Structure 1
């Protein structure tokens, strides 16, 4: 039965039918004052519940035992409000007993002062009317019930009534028929109801039930009263044993009493219950705003708590983590330090001062993508879909040589890439510097100045963002440069937006490492192999929960000698390393330890790869499982031993697991660890404890453990073989794209069956062999007529032309080979697939070179060193080395010969028309950033028709916007010329140790629009050359001529020429310098005055520039002397010094560069001084190019190349005597 407040404040019974309860009439009585009190209460609460002081579960009815809840005895009547203190007054108006404390309101509250109070006697013999609380002195025969005299005149007016005389007054009733409705006399004791049960609790109501009175038969009536610190209420019910009471005040303590009531108004002893109302729950929990790392929520205050002290408890969590709990007195809160792109459940409850809580109200929210916001702040948002490309990053722009401070987040990616492409080990230290931050950090006044975290970024986040916004080719170059700097590189790249991970196999594929095992020390042999194919064990390091040591810092020490520490992994103490990760948690980085063969230096005698998972493994189960299947061992850093035990129970792993704990950690308990070992939960051999504050001993223990794993583990997987494990765990593989797989298939078809490169070249690349070399020699003989002897010139030239036609005829007899057909098809594919194809070709061919060339090179080296007189053998070996070399340039060279051979056919020849597409393919290669061969180093010739066609097509492809400036490098072999250009411009000239540059290669770098007007060009062409006076060619008769031709051509084509000198003194370059001087002199004659820069490499002394002033002066004197000698030979007496023929300033045009590596390879990073010195050189070169007057386009460059090469072949510009000073002395 439910009772609700009526329109006039009364209690109106509401009928309802319940399962298991009869449908009986109920009545309720309440005096007018009580009605007014009830109507003055606050409106009911819409949600919440009541609590009772009990330890019983609310899932079951609560029973209130009569013995425990009511004072016994006829005299000691308890207070109906608190049930703890003896009542002293009974209010006839309220029908409630009050103790001294709770009766006070009846003396102070005006409306309560009107109530009738009587002393509590213990039996309360007076029987009162439940309507007006007057004595029951009238019996209504009509209704067969006792009533008061006032009711006889109102509710029972007109009924048959009789006035009764009570015993106390000595009166007897005038008539009484004693019918069945009065089964008990007024003096009989009524049995009390049974125990009270709570059937239902809500925030503003309670449903109670009680047992039937024992021994009472017939109709039953009960009186229910309740109250708190406000006016009590009362109601009567008939023939049911339950009631629902609503409109209770939340947060208040109520006393509920139920008594059996007789027909004459007499009541039994009460059964009582004391209930405490639980506060109502907050209303309308709303998510106001969501950011990447924070969210704001608010709610309404629940009604009824205006006068009650309360606050709110907020709990929020994401899956797999412990909840964060906080409190507030406000109606809103901002939740900080959230993870981006993550769903959180948020719950709020009301709490009272005594700790009582309401029901929880909950909602969910998903934080914004950290990735999207970070990309927006760093200016990379557009590149999430339209990826950054290598060519766009390598563009020459205003920032190329700018040293301005970084003041915005948008400038960070460009600054990082700029340094990284130059292999600068400080690349990860880029950060914004606002005006405020540039103020000194010294002094007490700066202690309160917190860094604005909105304008800084963790380097790991920056690196992750750039990898996500780069195409595969830029990723590959980034990884290559990071590896040179000994930075850890991504193995598994997370995307916090899509929750996907990618195995970065393609990005890693270009890394080639060299190392030497201790067993190879005596022979000086070494291993050189592509790192993704290296069969070496991997050990992984992860963390479980929050830990008290820096895992990454420990790993850096693990991989470093004390004398050569390097930050392989970014850690907390690095620049911006303490900034919270936003998108890089879940990243798995990898690095490698490679021995040098010296046991006094090597930490490990065998190579090992080291993986490092960022973030808690509980949040990155996929990555952790991958590492457990691919690693030889996984070292788990944790301070939570119980969590580690749970992890062991649930993990199926191939790797051996090691527990790494810190005894200095606050939560570490040695007894817990010992107990786990005793119970057999953990193998004590697989536990590593950091016992001291300092790391040295701890690191040594880790090194020893890893060393043991390397020696005994059999669970080795190459990175390439990890793909199946990755796919099994739902991890993407970057090489699985259609373009990459299709290109690989095409490249593999060409290279798969190459076992003998000599035979392959003879059969599949026949046009560039002996025929092409003979044609090249014929061209030079026709120009120089050295072998004409006494023959007439014209018949001699005619015979040479005839031989040339015969050789071309031989070329025509060869059909296009299967390999070249497939190669042309691969080059004809769309942009990305074409680039993948060329990369796969280069990778596959490079993988062949070390196998085929290592033995030949060792024999060649021995002959040159120990038997230099065996010139024929050396020459033969040189030919074998050349024949065994097979690279992408050989396929491109064959393209050139196919085209040149077709050009000798009639114009309407189908074969000629078929070849007309080839120059366009090669021109597109140049635009894509690939180098192509300008000078064939084996034939010492330029295929002019081919090069002309390629450059003409290039001019067309760029809509005639093809103005170029040319930078070239000359120097002795193995002085780091290619590396210098690669570091300076971020390009990819071949530098693998098995293959040296032969001839000359050209490569284009685009100039950004903003710098075009200043530089007056669209592209910068960079020309890399083979080493002059190389040992390979020094033993051959025409080596000196070859050097002269190459130097003359390159200097003649260049606007700026870099002369690379390996060491501080220039002795080794004397013979080279005379070539340079003579060439500059010849260029002066045709109106060109190139800029010259001398680069002195491997200069470790920082004061070398000052200390070598004397050397520079001596060098200039030598150059002047050579210039004068050359001028006399050419009868140019007005030229007396080197600066007459070239732009050269000894102070600004001489650059001293430290050695490339900092420390002992292979674990040494690139020397920061090397990168900085190369950057300074690049600045000077750009300034020199700005001053250049040349603004020729590709067609003018082409014409100049043709003219220059013809002059070289005619010996008009070359200097064939070995030393200009000797020649000058001879001629005089």
Structure 2
């Protein structure tokens, strides 16, 4: 038997397949029908078969990539029937048949995609979060990718900056357009190719199914899948978290055609936290915050069966968006580069949520609703579709035709508790066949005719979206399945999918966390009864140390008073040293002492989430206040301690370790304890491992407003030993009143993990380390950047506040004195905290003038492109009464100068930045504004340029920093 195939291709991709199948003994009408009678159909294996495939550049079936391109579009009747027979033999329950169809081609396609993107080297040793966050020369320029291997790094850089254009995978080539070689497929036009039956037809077909050439952008979903497959669990988590802030749909099931198994991404979604307005049936509504994997919601899946003229992703975006605020949560074919064929992303399941804000004009649903989107058709990805049917409240199936094979597939779902809806396009479908099979499926799937929706080109799109929404709302209101992502993972395990959280290291870390948190019933009581060194003992010791320091600075002789203070300090430290670590702290120390680096990281993440779950519910504000504040992470209100109590966190366990180390070191220094009897000398080394892996470590205790000097010095000494020859540091600090967005600014610039939110984070100053790539360190002049976030330390106390103001001014002086670069985050143009200005004037007398950058963030102006000269002027005007009072404290009397007179603030230079509001729209469904992302990138570029040009004074090595900490 010979098969004649005519090809006419105008591009690298075969865009459609029309086939005529001639069966002996069948009329032409029967041959055209996809469901011939069984007697004739049964003759197929025994009869001669002549198949004529006419492949055109565009078929009448629409923009559908052929089967030979995506391994899932089966429009050729003969091929479809062969697969149907294989599925029938397997009872339609698995996808083994389709997995074995083209295994070699699928495997090579994944490997070729990884090679094209330069990610093949990260299959054995996965790409880590630290690799992705390194400062390099690319960090200083707004570069466009010029080769496919640039795409992953460009995507990561834009995603770190919360840039909504991260999914744009277009490239800019250096080669002029007319100088590029003619594409191979253009030379094939009008050629007729014949194959003999003895030839390897599939291999010949695949020779025409090439990956994109370098000047063709890669499909964004392929790029995402390739990057996730090449990343470790912690980088995956960071990618998903940043995607959620950009309001992108998140990957839920990651396909892996190379290894023929798929991964349910439970761990990757763990870090996503959702905030929404909850309106109970009775009573006043309130703002609720919960983990995305733990909160339950009705879930609606949208899938495609064979060919559909309607776009699932466009429909989903329309359902999720108010009519006047369109959103592109799901990438679709009408976006730029959206039409590029998917090579490895078919089988990907994405998830997105609608979250109400409490505003009727924006809320299309009154409660949170989850939406799932399966890329590719259900016949080729039966395992993923089976999962969706078991976790969804309702499934919407988009198709143009229902064939006999499709009927058999759907018939196997009989008895399912899920509701099913069909969205048909009869314009390209076969009306009679569809009706015949729909009538058979209605009793099987427990549907009625209202479950069948028809959408053609003349259908009112807005009205159709309203109808789909009304169905979703009706199902959500009625008793229906409501699952969390964690519960969905149980269903995935039963179906044989791999869950990323099930590795041994992750599970051991989780079990240790649960042993610790199970004993925490009340956070305040736990801190008081279990973490006893950081309560009153630490406050008393800190107060005595301050008095000793003040006496030494005053130059007082070592009289009886100083000796008494020293004796009292040793007594307090001896009391602390006589204590043993509580059981919970011992478990914590065992967790961060694990021989496995990955298990340490898993344990820390689990502890963060576990402690957040046991924390007491936070008080919430009335809706009018919340809506006036608008975005999380970027409020301009000073959230005080009374409204937002400090939660129990990992930093309290590390603070307790620091106090054990402080007490022991103090006694050793005084000769009261032999060095050989030390028990806690290894604690700084344990904490340093966490700093190197991205955990913020406390520099100043927010409860006592004191610096544990010996503990911080021990950390820096360990850092010096660990970094060896790469110990040149630049210190960058951020100061400002709470709620001015400084922590979010630092996180966005450098990919850091400083606590953000409405004042709910820890109130200390924290430091994180950013590594400079070795290839760039010589040019930049440093090996690492130590970033310090002042947290809620600088609260804006007035000079009349007495001791509180003096404490804030001292802390601001300390942080700025350590810094090469200081970013001052402001809420208003005249809102320089008095303590910060006081530190300016104090440091100016010492001759230490860091490079200063003032950042003014404005909620109301979400579309400003960047720094604007007219916004610099108010900061350069003469200071007001508060500034005058600060200057008088420095005994400058009437000689008050404007900020423009100070050396660090030249009105002609860009020292003052206007940053647009963080959100584009109203949270919780708002994405980060493009203006915010671009302005933060420009600020980062300026800071790095200043460091490279030496404007930040001499860079410090760690030994110099240790000495500076002691002196300050």
After TM superposition, the score normalised by the length of structure 1 is 0.64
Q: Which residue of 2 aligns with 1:326?
A: 53
Q: Which residue of 1 aligns with 2:388?
A: 627
Gaps of 5+ in 2: 6-11, 15-48, 56-64, 80-100, 180-185, 190-209, 630-637
Offset, 1:1171? 0.4
Offset, 1:1080? 3.7
Offset, 1:435? 4.4
Which of the residues 210, 213, 226 maps onto 1:454? 213
Which of the residues 1011, 1028, 1045 maps onto 2:776? 1011
Match runs of 1:909-920 below 5 Å: 909=674, 912-920=677-685
Match runs of 1:728-807 below 5 Å: 728-784=494-550, 794-807=559-572
Match runs of 1:461-540 below 5 Å: 461-519=222-280, 523=284, 525-540=286-301
Greater RCO, CA 8 A, separation 6+ = 2
Q: Which residue of 1 aligns with 2:662?
A: 900
Paired residues of 1:630 and 1:655 also in contact (CA < 8 A): no
Answering whether residue 835 of structure 2 is matched by residue 1069 of structure 1, we say: no
Paired residues of 1:1080 and 1:1141 also in contact (CA < 8 A): no
Deviations 1:623-667 (A, max 9, x none): 111111111111111112345533331115645333333345311
Determine the C-alpha separation between the residues in 2 that align with 1:1035 and 1:703: 57
Determine the C-alpha separation between the residues in 2 that align with 1:648 and 1:1153: 53
In structure 2, relative to structure 1, the CA distance for the partners of 1:812 and 1:654 (3 Å cut) is farther
Aligned-partner SS, 1:1041: helix
Which of the residues 951, 955, 958 maps onto 2:716? 951
Structure of higher CA gyration radius: 1
Deviations 1:122-175 (A, max 9, x none): xxxxxxxxxxxxxxxxxxxxxxxxxxxxxxxxxxxxxxxxxxxxxxxxxxxxxx
Paired residues of 1:1095 and 1:1152 also in contact (CA < 8 A): yes
Answering whether residue 966 of structure 2 is matched by residue 1202 of structure 1, we say: yes
Which has the higher mean CA deviation after the structures are superposed, 1031-1040 or 475-484? Answer: 1031-1040
Which of the residues 125, 136, 152 maps onto 1:413? 152
Q: Which residue of 2 aligns with 1:390?
A: 129
Which of the residues 603, 609, 612 maps onto 2:373? 612
In structure 2, relative to structure 1, the CA distance for the partners of 1:1136 and 1:477 (3 Å cut) is closer
In structure 2, relative to structure 1, the CA distance for the partners of 1:1134 and 1:325 (3 Å cut) is same
In structure 2, relative to structure 1, the CA distance for the partners of 1:491 and 1:792 (3 Å cut) is same
Offset, 1:847? 2.2
Aligned-partner SS, 2:483: coil
Paired residues of 1:341 and 1:366 also in contact (CA < 8 A): no
In structure 2, relative to structure 1, the CA distance for the partners of 1:723 and 1:365 (3 Å cut) is closer
Offset, 1:1139? 5.5
In structure 2, relative to structure 1, the CA distance for the partners of 1:547 and 1:1108 (3 Å cut) is closer
Determine the C-alpha separation between the residues in 2 that align with 1:780 and 1:452: 67
Q: Which residue of 1 aligns with 2:68?
A: 338
In structure 2, relative to structure 1, the CA distance for the partners of 1:1116 and 1:1137 (3 Å cut) is closer
In structure 2, relative to structure 1, the CA distance for the partners of 1:946 and 1:559 (3 Å cut) is same
Determine the C-alpha separation between the residues in 1 that align with 2:862 and 2:921: 16
Offset, 1:998? 1.0
Deviations 1:964-1021 (A, max 9, x none): 1011111111111111111111111111446234121000000001210111111011
Paired residues of 1:662 and 1:689 also in contact (CA < 8 A): yes
Deviations 1:768-792 (A, max 9, x none): 111101111111122335999xx99
Match runs of 1:708-719 below 5 Å: 708-719=474-485
Q: Which residue of 1 aligns with 2:163?
A: 424
**Count of matched residue pairs:** 843
Paired residues of 1:588 and 1:612 also in contact (CA < 8 A): yes
Paired residues of 1:628 and 1:653 also in contact (CA < 8 A): no
Gaps of 5+ in 1: 1-279, 286-291, 295-321, 329-334, 350-362, 441-446, 866-873, 1205-1228
In structure 2, relative to structure 1, the CA distance for the partners of 1:609 and 1:1032 (3 Å cut) is farther
Offset, 1:814? 1.6
Paired residues of 1:590 and 1:612 also in contact (CA < 8 A): yes
Match runs of 1:51-200 below 5 Å: none
Determine the C-alpha separation between the residues in 2 that align with 1:815 and 1:591: 48
Determine the C-alpha separation between the residues in 1 that align with 2:776 and 2:866: 34
Determine the C-alpha separation between the residues in 2 that align with 1:1135 and 1:1127: 14
Q: Which residue of 1 aligns with 2:753?
A: 988
Paired residues of 1:480 and 1:511 also in contact (CA < 8 A): yes
Offset, 1:960? 3.8
In structure 2, relative to structure 1, the CA distance for the partners of 1:1159 and 1:1111 (3 Å cut) is closer
Q: Which residue of 1 aligns with 2:429?
A: 667
Aligned-partner SS, 1:532: coil
Aligned-partner SS, 2:925: coil
Q: Which residue of 2 aligns with 1:1094?
A: 854
Match runs of 1:264-413 below 5 Å: 326=53, 338=68, 366-367=104-105, 368-413=107-152
Match runs of 1:865-944 below 5 Å: 878=641, 885-906=647-668, 909=674, 912-944=677-709
Paired residues of 2:402 and 2:433 also in contact (CA < 8 A): no
Which has the higher mean CA deviation after the structures are superposed, 503-512 or 1027-1036? Answer: 1027-1036
Answering whether residue 400 of structure 2 is matched by residue 639 of structure 1, we say: yes
Deviations 1:1041-1069 (A, max 9, x none): 22212211111111111111123x32x32
Offset, 1:684? 1.1
Determine the C-alpha separation between the residues in 2 that align with 1:911 and 1:520: 65
Determine the C-alpha separation between the residues in 2 that align with 1:631 and 1:392: 37
Aligned-partner SS, 1:537: strand
Offset, 1:430? 2.8
Paired residues of 1:406 and 1:412 also in contact (CA < 8 A): yes
Paired residues of 1:1120 and 1:1136 also in contact (CA < 8 A): no
Offset, 1:673? 3.0
Which protein has the bigger helix share? 2
Determine the C-alpha separation between the residues in 1 that align with 2:3 and 2:433: 45
Offset, 1:724? 2.0
Paired residues of 2:513 and 2:607 also in contact (CA < 8 A): yes
In structure 2, relative to structure 1, the CA distance for the partners of 1:760 and 1:437 (3 Å cut) is farther
Q: Which residue of 2 aligns with 1:578?
A: 339
Paired residues of 1:518 and 1:599 also in contact (CA < 8 A): no
Aligned-partner SS, 1:904: helix
In structure 2, relative to structure 1, the CA distance for the partners of 1:687 and 1:1107 (3 Å cut) is same
Which protein has the bigger strand share? 1
Deviations 1:1143-1202 (A, max 9, x none): 645541111111111111100111111101101111111101112242321111111111
In structure 2, relative to structure 1, the CA distance for the partners of 1:410 and 1:1139 (3 Å cut) is farther
Determine the C-alpha separation between the residues in 1 that align with 2:656 and 2:679: 15
Q: Which residue of 2 aligns with 1:815?
A: 580
Offset, 1:567? 0.5
Q: Which residue of 1 aligns with 2:726?
A: 961
Aligned-partner SS, 1:590: strand
Paired residues of 2:875 and 2:899 also in contact (CA < 8 A): no
Offset, 1:437? 7.3
Determine the C-alpha separation between the residues in 1 that align with 2:466 and 2:782: 57
Offset, 1:406? 1.8
Deviations 1:69-123 (A, max 9, x none): xxxxxxxxxxxxxxxxxxxxxxxxxxxxxxxxxxxxxxxxxxxxxxxxxxxxxxx
Offset, 1:848? 2.8
Offset, 1:370? 1.4
In structure 2, relative to structure 1, the CA distance for the partners of 1:560 and 1:929 (3 Å cut) is same
Paired residues of 1:757 and 1:886 also in contact (CA < 8 A): yes
Aligned-partner SS, 1:577: coil
Paired residues of 2:253 and 2:263 also in contact (CA < 8 A): yes
Which has the higher mean CA deviation after the structures are superposed, 824-833 or 777-786? Answer: 777-786
Determine the C-alpha separation between the residues in 1 that align with 2:901 and 2:430: 74
Q: Which residue of 2 aligns with 1:256?
A: none
Which has the higher mean CA deviation after the structures are superposed, 1117-1126 or 478-487? Answer: 1117-1126
In structure 2, relative to structure 1, the CA distance for the partners of 1:733 and 1:678 (3 Å cut) is closer
